[in-house]
Amino acid sequence: MPLYHTDDQAMLKDSAGDFMKNEAPVSHLREFRDKDCKDGFSHALWKQFAEMGFTGMLATEEDGGLGMGNTEAGIVLEEIGRNLTPSPFLTTSVVGVTGLNHASKDMRDQWLPGIIAGETVLGVAIDEGPKFRPTNIAMKAERSGNGFNLNGRKNFVVQGASADMLIVAARTAGSAGEADGITLFAVERDAAGLSAEAARLVDSAMGAQIEFDNVEVTADAVIGEVDQGADVMTRMLHAGQAGASAELVGVGAGAMDMTVDYLRERKQFGRTIGSFQALQHRAAHLYSEMEIARSTVLKAQQLLDEDDAGAPLMVSVAKAKTARAVNLAVREGVQMHGGIGMTDEYDIGLYMKRDRALAEFMGDANYHANLVAEMNGY
Amino acid sequence: MSDLETFRSETRAWLEENCPEEMRAPVRDEDDVFWGGRNATFKNDAQKAWFDACVEKGYTVPEWPTDYGGAGLAPAESKILKQEMARIKARPPLSSFGIWMLGPALLQFGTEEQKLHYLNQIARGEIRWCQGYSEPGSGSDLVSLQTFGEDKGDHWVVNGQKIWTSYADKADWIFCLVRTDKEDKYRGITFMLFDMTSKGVSTKPILLISGSSPFCETFFDDVEVPNDQFVGEINRGWDVAKYLLGHEREMISGMGGGGGIGSLGKAVMPSLGEDAMGRLDDPLLRAQLAELDVEALAFKAMAERFMDELKAKKNHPATPNMMKYVGTELNKRRHELVMASGGSEALEWESEESRGGAKARDWLRTKANSIEGGTSEVMLNVISKRILELPDA
């Protein structure tokens, strides 16, 4: 498969790009931040996502979805990133649906129609500390009668307080640090004993700390196999990591475009600042880094869609590389804008904030570089 | 089976039969590379057998038309051949500036006669070529070239000096930028070809910090060049030169991916040892090596995308400049880490065990990557002006 978009994918990019730009540009994020929306995203927009066919992209046709791949989801995510569009797309339609694709038919029937219709939102509850360590799960799920009894606490659940259902990773065996013994559960948001404390994050999204106090679930709530949840979780993580990388590329591209436009028009010392070689070279370096980052994301997504054995390595390369490149894009963006880049009124700072949140999501650059070293045998 | 699948299995069988075991190992040094030419000698029988088989099949230049010594492969077939060669770590049968640089320019700008004559010679490795671009005082700024060719009717008389002519002392012929109009400094350049044994040509190797001398100073003293030995139009040598530089940049940038070298971290693991967790026992070096692996794999993805886009004619014409910039900077970074990983052993300069100080010499050699073929700074200028369209000063 050539490493560029097919004609169909290019068309999807155009329509997703137009949609985000027209329906949810950066001003949309500002509006939702300023009115202090408790969910941090627009439910009406989520319905529009459904009308565009985005919500069920990764669900199979048998389940009423479009049966598309990570590559297509990545195209939508890049446009989301470019426009800083707040939406549950990454957690619900990419990570959540990837998980549900490995769930029972009953569970898929219960949740997928609502997701595809743009009515249902999912949360993904894995992290228990400030850094992403997916096997360091201590939260307990103990057998209780026919089902399980959940106790523990989860951090950084994006949109966790407004989600209809949470996919929760808990430990049914083993101890923190081991991949074996993790089980995935679908837990309804209004389950007794579940409480969520939401707080606005730096990028204006709502993140939640979720407390599980003797939450009872039935055996039907298990996704995949008991004790073997790491398999499905890993698939969810790969989709989420590649997806976050795609969104990051959009964030970086949006920031770079703003910055290069600014270099072309801003005058100092009687010249446009874009004519100064010191800034030209930094902009050209940034452009190069962004092109490389973009290539890693497309390669990772293609490998995931082909279920290629090399996909995990490339997913980590993509997350590590995009995190570095896009961090450079937003830092250069604020610096090259000068004082105006520090003002809330100007959009470039919003790109810096979204970059920080996505960089942390499902493993930062160091986490993934470490995985690359491990996969390469040192 | 699709045509391409058939091609893959046939290629695999052909390689199995024709690529000797000794030729299935990464190139370590100059000795492992066959450059062809009038005075060429083979290192061993395996090198000769592999070269002969590839010439016969057109695989020294797989994408060139069969009339010119190639195999006439379509881009998709050529990609498969590359993949299959990489799979068994097959060495290139022939390394040649004729293949990488002059050939593509002749295919684009040469007359039919020139193509039949020169391209076949290049494909069969008969003539070793060198490139005469730079002059003292004209490195990245080629517009200031001084070497002059005076029109004498049925021939030119060329006078001047070139510098950084790679392997000029070993080359049979030179492709050369010669000023043929002193008035028009931007256009008055002609792309000439001539025999290095012509009367008045002399060369002198330049000793580098790596202790070797791959480059020469080359002097032209009343050299007579027949007037049919130019490519493209008279005074329009820039068109040819720029096209060729694009290919040179692709070639140099290709080194950044590390070729078949693989993960440096893994390679140094046995000599540096591991900690209780089974990790390289030097956490900060390990972190740097991990970052290098990320960058190298990322660059490899970029290189794949670049080649795929190039074949589909989807890339920006200045993309080779970007590839050259990032590829050479990455290669320098890799060799800094090769030295850091080798520790005091990497300092050896002459011992047998170090293969004549290969690590240290290679490290020093890479410093030229971001200078030769246009400096990194010139590449960044091109990216900022032609891709980002930033204004002139």
Question: Is the sign of the CA dihedral A166, A172, A177, A178 positive or negative?
Answer: negative
CA distance A108 to A102: 9
Residues 274-333 of chain B with CB under 8 A from chain A are: 274, 279-280, 286-287, 289-291, 293-295, 297-299, 301-302, 304-305, 308-309, 311-312, 314, 322, 325-326
What digits encode the pLDDT tens for the residues A271-289?
999 999 999 999 999 999 9
Q: Where are the beta strands (DSSP E) in A118-181?
A: 122-125, 140-144, 147-158, 165-171
DSSP for A63-117 reads GTS----HHHHHHHHHHHHHHT---SIIIIIIIIHHHHTTS-HHHHHHHHHHHHT
Determine the pLDDT at residue B315: 87
**Residue that has been written with the tokens 């995510």 in this structure:** A77
Q: Which has more pLDDT, B30 or A22?
A: A22
Tell me what the mean pLDDT of segment A21-25 comes to: 97
Cross-chain residue pair A295–B287, CB shorter than 8 Å:
no
Residues facing A216 on adjacent strands: A149
CA distance B321 to A284: 11
Percent of chain A with pLDDT over 70: 100
CA distance B319 to B325: 10
CA distance B308 to A178: 41
CB contact at 8 A, A124 and A352? no
**SS3 for A144?**
strand
User: Closest partner residue to B380 among A280, A298, A324, by Cβ?
Assistant: A280
* B45 interfacial to chain A (CB closer than 8 Å): no
What digits encode the pLDDT tens for the residues A330-346?
999 999 999 999 999 99
Ramachandran quadrant class, B257 (left: phi over 0; alpha: psi -120 to 50; beta: rest): alpha
Cross-chain residue pair A3–B381, CB shorter than 8 Å:
no
Tokens representing B77 are: 């077939």
Long-range pairs of B84-90 with CB within 8 A, sequence gap ≥ 24: B84/B8, B84/B11, B84/B12, B84/B15, B85/B15, B85/B19, B86/B260, B88/B15, B88/B19, B88/B24, B89/B24, B89/B25, B89/B26, B89/B260, B90/B15, B90/B19, B90/B23, B90/B24, B90/B50
CA distance A373 to A370: 5
Q: Chain B: nearest CA to A18, how far in angstroms?
A: 22
Q: Chain A: nearest CA to B202, how far in angstroms?
A: 39
Cross-chain residue pair A376–B263, CB shorter than 8 Å:
yes
Q: Which residue of A has its CA nearest to B274?
A: A378
Determine the pLDDT at residue B257: 44
Determine the pLDDT at residue B261: 59
Determine the pLDDT at residue B248: 72
ipTM of the complex in this document:
0.95
CA distance A40 to B162: 66
Cross-chain residue pair B302–A295, CB shorter than 8 Å:
yes
Determine the pLDDT at residue B254: 56
Residues facing A223 on adjacent strands: A184
* B87 interfacial to chain A (CB closer than 8 Å): no
Sequence letter at residue A228? Q
Determine the pLDDT at residue B374: 87
Which residues in chain A have Cβ-Cβ distances shorter than 8 Å to B309? 3-4
Determine the pLDDT at residue B352: 86
Q: In terms of Cα–Cα distance, which of A373, A260, A204 is closest to B288?
A: A373
Which residues in chain A have Cβ-Cβ distances shorter than 8 Å to B385? 280
Measure Cα distances from A128 to A140, B243, B293 in Å: 12, 56, 29
Q: At what angle do helices B75-87 and B3-18 cross, to 10 degrees?
A: 40
Cross-chain residue pair A3–B304, CB shorter than 8 Å:
yes
Cross-chain residue pair A287–B322, CB shorter than 8 Å:
yes
Q: In terms of Cα–Cα distance, which of A376, A243, A314 is closest to B264?
A: A376
Mean pLDDT score across all residues of chain A? 97
Determine the pLDDT at residue B258: 44
Determine the pLDDT at residue B384: 97
Q: In terms of Cα–Cα distance, which of B175, B177, B169, B216 is closest to B197?
A: B169
What digits encode the pLDDT tens for the residues A81-116?
999 999 999 999 999 999 999 999 999 999 999 999
* B391 interfacial to chain A (CB closer than 8 Å): yes
Residue A359 belongs to what H/E stretch? Answer: helix A348-360
CB contact at 8 A, A171 and A227? no
Ramachandran quadrant class, B274 (left: phi over 0; alpha: psi -120 to 50; beta: rest): beta
Percent of chain B with pLDDT over 70: 96
A347 half-sphere exposure, CB direction, 13 A CA radius: 19
Measure Cα distances from B374 to A128, A161, A194, B254, B378 in Å: 51, 56, 63, 15, 6
CA distance A177 to A134: 8
CB contact at 8 A, A3 and B315? no
CB contact at 8 A, A57 and A90? no
Q: Where are the beta strands (DSSP E) in A189-241?
A: 194-200, 206-217, 222-223
What digits encode the pLDDT tens for the residues B49-103?
999 999 999 999 999 999 999 999 998 899 899 989 989 999 999 999 999 899 9
DSSP for A308-332 reads -TTHHHHHHHHHHHHHHHHHHHHHH
CA distance B170 to B147: 21
**SS3 for B290?**
helix
pLDDT in 10s for each residue of chain B, 393 residues: 688 999 999 999 999 999 999 999 888 777 788 999 999 999 999 999 999 999 999 999 999 999 999 999 998 899 899 989 989 999 999 999 999 899 999 999 999 999 999 999 999 999 999 999 999 988 777 788 999 999 999 999 999 999 999 999 999 999 999 999 999 888 899 999 999 999 999 999 999 999 888 899 999 999 999 988 999 999 999 899 888 877 776 666 655 444 445 799 999 999 999 999 999 999 999 999 999 999 999 999 999 999 889 888 898 989 989 999 999 999 999 999 999 999 999 999 998 888 889 999 999 999 999 998 889 999 999 999 999 999 987
CA distance A124 to A93: 11
Mapping DSSP onto H, E and C, the string for B24-74 reads CCCCCCHHHCCCCCCCCCCCCHHHHHHHHHHHHHCCCCCCCCHHHCCCCCC
Q: Which residue of A has its CA nearest to B304?
A: A3
Residue B220 belongs to what H/E stretch? Answer: strand B215-226
Which residues in chain B have Cβ-Cβ distances shorter than 8 Å to A298? 301, 305
Determine the pLDDT at residue A272: 95
Q: In terms of Cα–Cα distance, which of B317, B322, B331, B319 is closest to B368?
A: B331
A221 half-sphere exposure, CB direction, 13 A CA radius: 25
User: Closest partner residue to A283 among B266, B322, B388, by Cβ?
Assistant: B388
Range list of H helices, chain B:
3-18, 45-57, 75-87, 97, 103-109, 112-114, 120-123, 237-253, 264-272, 283-311, 319-342, 358-366, 376-382
Determine the pLDDT at residue A355: 98
CA distance B108 to B243: 9
Distance from the first to the final alpha carbon of chain A: 31
CB proximity list for B212: less than 8 A, separation 6 or greater: B361, B365
CB proximity list for A306: less than 8 A, separation 6 or greater: A1
* pLDDT category of residue A181 using cuts at 50, 70 and 90: very high
Determine the pLDDT at residue B311: 82
Q: At what angle do helices B264-272 and B283-311 cross, to 10 degrees?
A: 160
